[in-house]
Amino acid sequence: MRNFSLLAGLVLWLTMDVSSLLGELICPLPVIENGRLLQQAKEYRENDVLHFSCNRGFRRTEDRPSKCTKVGMRAEWSPMPECEPAKCRVELPPLEGTTYASTLKNVYYPGETLNVTCGEGFWISSPQDTFAETTCDDDGQWTIRPVCQEFFCSNQREYNVRWWNVWRNQQIRLGDTARYQCVTGYKSPDGSNVAKCTRNGWEPKPLCQEITCPRLEVENAIHPDVYKQSYRNDDWVTYRCMEGFTGRPTRTCGQNGWTGDSQCTVNQKPGFLAVSYQKPFLQSPQIGLMLVWQCSP
């Protein structure tokens, strides 16, 4: 046996030597346990990459590509093209905000599951989720990365927010609040002008809503717009009074709805003049005479 390996070594050395003498380094074709070559070249020279993949349930020991590399006088594969049983790992103790159902092991095999729970202010899978059941797949990858992310609200100002007390790169966590003001024509929907960071993002949503006023009818007046149903900030409407009424009511749309209170009032109808008088006085009216009259309804 010993003699044989000595001989093999000698042959190997000789071939290496010959190829290196020729200025060529050739890597031996590897045999990959639990894996296979994806394409096979006739010979592999320095810097050639070996394309191989591992069988189901196995994964490459190294993620780096295996390259034919010169080592001293010889050429060999680096890293060695090898496959190992696939497994998933978790970091123990888990990162801040992450809790595992089991903290006894940190290596899991394909098919095994792990329950992950996130702390207040953290999320997994989607910003609304604080729990996930993740499975180690055949490639040794978790179906869901078992790490909770800290929740942040966007620090980008919405286009219709004129100003808010959030700095450009400020990190805003769940429950944080900010005061803000809307651009002209927009208002805070709840009137508070305070934004709060929630799992659904900033609330109220949207922070600034367009100021609109629904169509308004004024008593005894004719609306100048036949169909218009909605008005914007600073829009104003001048009404025409109905027959028998006078006035020129005007309403202006603003942040708190319509303003203005002018009305159409009833025309003074001509009535019958009922004058009560005493004949003698009328016959010879005198200065200082007081005349009392009354309009009939």
Ligand X SMILES: *[C@@H]1O[C@H](CO)[C@@H](O)[C@H](O)[C@H]1NC(C)=O
Binding site for ligand X (CB under 6 A): 101, 115, 133
CB of 163 to ligand X, least distance (A): 45
With respect to ligand X, which residue has the nearer C-beta, 115 or 256?
Answer: 115
CB of 138 to ligand X, least distance (A): 20
With respect to ligand X, which residue has the nearer C-beta, 117 or 181?
Answer: 117
Amino acid 118 reads C
Q: CA 255 to CA 232: how far, in whole Å? A: 9
Q: CA 210 to CA 184: how far, in whole Å? A: 9
Q: Say if CB 153 and CB 202 are below 8 A apart.
A: yes
With respect to ligand X, which residue has the nearer C-beta, 12 or 101?
Answer: 101
Comparing CA positions, the residue from 215, 253, 248 lying closest to residue 235 is 253
Q: Say if CB 70 and CB 25 are below 8 A apart.
A: yes
Phi then psi for 153, rounded to 5 degrees?
Answer: -90, 155
Say how many residues make up the chain.
297
Which residues is 99 bridged to in the sheet?
Answer: 117
CB of 89 to ligand X, least distance (A): 17
CB of 143 to ligand X, least distance (A): 13
> Residue 104: which residues within 8 A CB-CB, separation 6 or more?
none
With respect to ligand X, which residue has the nearer C-beta, 102 or 154?
Answer: 102
CB of 60 to ligand X, least distance (A): 29
With respect to ligand X, which residue has the nearer C-beta, 106 or 198?
Answer: 106
